[in-house]
Amino acid sequence: MAIRTISAAELHRKMDSGESLFILDVRNPEEYQDWQIEGKQLQSINIPYFDFLDDNDALYADLPKDTEIITVCAKGGSAQMVAELLDQRGYDVSVLEGGMLAWSQFYVPVTIVDDDNLKLIQFNRLAKGCLSYMVISDGKALVVDPSRHVDEYVRVAEQEGAQIEHIMDTHLHADHITGGPELAQKTGATYYISASEMQGSDRPYEPLEKHSVIQFGHVNVKVLAIPTPGHTPGSMSFLVNDQFLLSGDTIFVGGLGRPDLGGKAREWAQALYDTVFRTIAQLSDDVLVLPAHYADIQEINAAGYVGETLGEIRRKNEIMRTEDRETFTETVANSVGATPPNYEDIVSINRGVLSVSPEKATELEIGPNRCAIHHT
- Report which of 234, 224, 276, 286 is spatially closest to residue 255, judged by C-alpha positions: 276
**DSSP secondary-structure letter at 122?**
E
- Provide the β-strand partners of residue 136: 119, 141
70, 73, 95, 136: the active-site residue: 73
Beta-carbon contacts of residue 203 (< 8 Å; ≥ 6 apart):
181, 351, 352
User: 190: helix, coil or strand?
Assistant: strand
| CB contact at 8 A, 175 and 199 | no
Pairing of strands 69-72, 93-96: parallel
| 4-6, strands of its sheet edge to edge | 4-6, 93-96, 69-72, 21-25, 42-46
Element (H, E) at 84: helix 77-88
Instruction: Kindly list the distances between the CA atom of residue 339 and the CA atoms of 108, 174, 253, 264, 297, in Å, as whole numbers in the listed order.
Output: 26, 10, 21, 14, 21
Instruction: Kindly list the distances between the CA atom of residue 324 and the CA atoms of 132, 227, 274, in Å, as whole numbers in the listed order.
Output: 33, 22, 11
- How many residues appear in the chain? 376
**DSSP secondary-structure letter at 350?**
H
Task: Based on the residue annotation, tell me whether 73 is a catalytic residue of this protein.
Answer: yes
Instruction: Kindly list the distances between the CA atom of residue 31 and the CA atoms of 35, 96, 155, 370, in Å, as whole numbers in the listed order.
Output: 6, 17, 32, 15
Torsion of CA 323, 327, 333, 334, to 10 degrees: -140
Instruction: Kindly list the distances between the CA atom of residue 322 and the CA atoms of 281, 286, 317, in Å, as whole numbers in the listed order.
Output: 12, 20, 9
Catalytic residue list: 73
